[in-house]
């Protein structure tokens, strides 16, 4: 089981008045910073940012993998059922 993630929300004013507190809170989870009551920014630790922005293989790279032609993939056909529309 992983660590508990705490989400903190601060107004821009609260963030400006206690930047150190916001940084401490970011160690426990994302800190949402609001501007005029609406979420405007997110403060993350650099480790969390790197996890979110880690570049994995692209879909093109995955499709170009050796042996990809040997994989059987037959998705089920989608059957569409149309019903008359009742406008009453």
Between 2 and 85, name the one with better pLDDT: 85
pLDDT digits (tens, 9 = 90+) for 48-76: 988 887 877 777 777 787 777 777 777 78
Q: Angle at CA 18, nearest 5°, toward 46 and 38?
A: 75
State the average pLDDT for the chain.
85
What is the Cα–Cα distance from 45 to 5, expressed in whole angstroms? 13
Domain 1-55 has CATH 3.40.1620.10: yes
SS3 63: helix
Q: Give 43's strand partners.
A: 31
Banded model confidence at residue 2, pLDDT cuts 50, 70, 90: low
The helix (H) or strand (E) run that includes residue 53 is helix 46-53
Whether this prediction's pTM lies above 0.85 is answered by no
pLDDT digits (tens, 9 = 90+) for 21-35: 999 999 999 999 999
Q: Where are the domains of the chain?
A: 1-55
Answer yes or no: is pLDDT of 43 > 80: yes
């Amino acid at each position: 089981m992983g660590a508990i993630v705490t989400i903190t929300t601060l107004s821009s004013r609260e963030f400006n008045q206690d930047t150190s507190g916001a940084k401490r809170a970011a160690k426990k989870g994302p800190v949402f910073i609001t501007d005029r009551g609406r979420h405007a920014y997110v403060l993350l630790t650099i480790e969390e940012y790197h996890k979110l922005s880690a570049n994995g293989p692209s879909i093109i790279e995955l499709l170009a993998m050796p042996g990809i032609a040997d994989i059987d993939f037959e998705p089920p056909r989608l059957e569409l059922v149309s019903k008359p529309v009742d406008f009453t």
